[in-house]
Amino acid sequence: MKPLQMAFILSYCYFPVTALAKAHFKGQFEVNEDHLQQIIRMSWDAVRA
């Protein structure tokens, strides 16, 4: 993982996912298995060294 404070890493992973979840529940974005895998991959790519 990147040498950052854990709070930064957690907030970077958590808040984008929650924003997409909120959009999904508001009917603005449809989450399917492919989208979920893309989101997970993007989050991991953002924090790994």
Residue 42 lies in a domain: yes
Question: pLDDT tens digits for 7-49?
Answer: 988 888 888 888 888 999 999 988 899 988 998 888 888 888 7
Residue 33 lies in a domain: yes
And the tokens for 27?
Answer: 């009917």
Residue 1 lies in a domain: no
Read off the pTM.
Answer: 0.66
Q: Can you say how many angstroms the Cα of residue 25 is from the centroid of all Cα atoms in its chain?
A: 16
Q: Which domain holds residue 26?
A: 6-47
Residue 16 lies in a domain: yes
And the tokens for 6?
Answer: 């854990």
Three-state DSSP class for residue 3? coil
Count, residues in the chain? 49
Number of domains in the chain: 1
